[in-house]
Structure 1
Amino acid sequence: MCLWCLSESTTAFLPFQTTILAVKFNGGVIIGSDSRASMGGSYVSSKTINKLIQVHDRIFCCIAGSLADAQAVTKMAKFQLSFHSIQMESPPLVKAAASVMKELCYSNKEELQAGFITAGWDRKKGPQVYTVSLGGMLLSQPFTIGGSGSTYIYGYVDAKYKPDMSREECLQFATNALALAIGRDNVSGGVVHLVVITEDGVEHVVIPGDKLPKFHDE
């Protein structure tokens, strides 16, 4: 199915100029991103883009790449998942949502310039994180990072991640990772958006740029 008619924006941001992540903890998952949108690597077009898109009650996607492409994919995914939940008379599984994203990306791989992280919670498997790549590859992971800022924090996340973190430990892990990326990557910045997803519901946390932890002198 062609997605171009669904796009609300004609502004194309260069691929992956952002920092996005998702990580599981004991009882839930945290998905997060910075809020800067840039064009050409030097012009900041917005400081307040929310890159965390809710596609169902307890399922979110992080977006990286062309905003227009990402809007088209997530809009279609939301429609398909809503229809699916009505047919099945139950909320969709996180893997089902990730599979929908995968199929949309694969079917339009020649035109799309966007990648996604899908994360959420369901009653069958609890918290889950999936990477959906540019060409439609689907990979389940305990945590994942993406975007241009991720190149600066692979060492940090590999060293500091541990299974079954508490909610607070995971929040600190995600905040530190995004703060480190923002401090080094000139196309990541603004505020940090974090969404905490558990059986009990969804909590959105916003951390202003001046409240982020500092790891070096500016």
Structure 2
Amino acid sequence: MPSFGDRNNSACEVSTGTTIIAVEFDGGIVIGSDSRVSAGEAVVNRVFNKLAPIMNKILVLCPAPLPDTQPARICVEMGAPPRVIAAANLVKGISYKYKEEMVAHLIVAGWDQKNGGQVYGTLGGMITRQPFAVGGSGSTFIYGYVDSAFKPGMSREQCEKFAVNALGLAMGRDGSSGGVIYLVTVTTDGTKAQIISGDDIPRFYDL
């Protein structure tokens, strides 16, 4: 998967607003985020990538401050590729351990041979599989849109458009979300990463 730039813990630690989204389709998942990192009213990073690969074809979306993102970077030696649910349970354990310091809604999404594309929301000690999930400060502006626009059985292309439209809408409404859109699609064939910027980002009046 192509690199979206340097990743460091300090940027994640000061993040107070963002928009993240993940959606399942038959054969894989699409995940995306904005790229703005803010601390109070200041924008401290305009192009930070919040989509962190933690295992082969499995990523975690980081929407808010984390005490330490390194425990989520796990190398598992198994006779078969790791399961998405196993990664989600590990991330859930981290969020539970730091539940006093961290109120982030972490999303784990990926593809494995047994269950295909999967999206899991984790918060504290809970873990829930969902057909799609949104998080971050920008999510409050798009619940109406995603609830009405999501349809079971959407194709890969429809899910990519759904994610990009939702992120564009949030970025237009939420002052803490902005920058570019990072989009990753994971299927049995591999991982495809895209960066969407400028006039290619849909605005609320285009939807």
TM-score by length of 2: 0.90
- Structure 1 pair 90–190 and aligned structure 2 pair: CA distance change class (3 A): same
After TM superposition, give the deviation of residue 216 of structure 1 in Å: 2.6
Tell me the amino acid that sits aligned with residue 125 of structure 2: G
Residue in 2 that maps onto 1:3: none
Q: How big is each residue's C-alpha offset from its partner over 1:55-111, in whole Å with a ceiling of 9 and x where there is no partner? A: 011001111111x53xx23x21223xx1x3x1x222210000000000111122123
1: distance between equivalents of 2:133 and 2:23?
Answer: 7
After TM superposition, give the deviation of residue 25 of structure 1 in Å: 1.3
Is the CA contact 2:111–2:186 (under 8 Å) kept in the aligned structure 1?
A: yes
Residue in 2 that maps onto 1:60: 59
Q: How many residues align?
A: 199
Residue in 2 that maps onto 1:207: 196
After TM superposition, give the deviation of residue 11 of structure 1 in Å: 7.2
Higher Rg = 1
1:53 is paired with a residue whose SS is strand
Is the CA contact 1:189–1:209 (under 8 Å) kept in the aligned structure 2?
A: no
- Structure 1 pair 10–113 and aligned structure 2 pair: CA distance change class (3 A): farther
After TM superposition, give the deviation of residue 10 of structure 1 in Å: 8.2
Alignment equivalent of 1:153, drawn from 142, 146, 151: 142
After TM superposition, give the deviation of residue 14 of structure 1 in Å: 5.2
TM-score by length of 1: 0.86
- Structure 1 pair 8–50 and aligned structure 2 pair: CA distance change class (3 A): closer
Q: Does 1:94 align with 2:94?
A: no
Q: How big is each residue's C-alpha offset from its partner over 1:18-47, in whole Å with a ceiling of 9 and x where there is no partner? A: 00010011211001100000011x111110
Structure 1: gaps (5+ residues): 1-6
After TM superposition, give the deviation of residue 203 of structure 1 in Å: 0.4
Structure 2: gaps (5+ residues): 1-7
Q: Does 1:191 align with 2:192?
A: no
1: distance between equivalents of 2:28 and 2:12?
Answer: 34
After TM superposition, give the deviation of residue 113 of structure 1 in Å: 4.6
Q: Does 1:115 align with 2:105?
A: yes
Greater helix share, 1 or 2?
1
After TM superposition, give the deviation of residue 191 of structure 1 in Å: 0.3
After TM superposition, give the deviation of residue 116 of structure 1 in Å: 1.1
User: Please, what is the CA RMSD of the aligned residues?
Assistant: 1.8
Is the CA contact 1:31–1:194 (under 8 Å) kept in the aligned structure 2?
A: yes
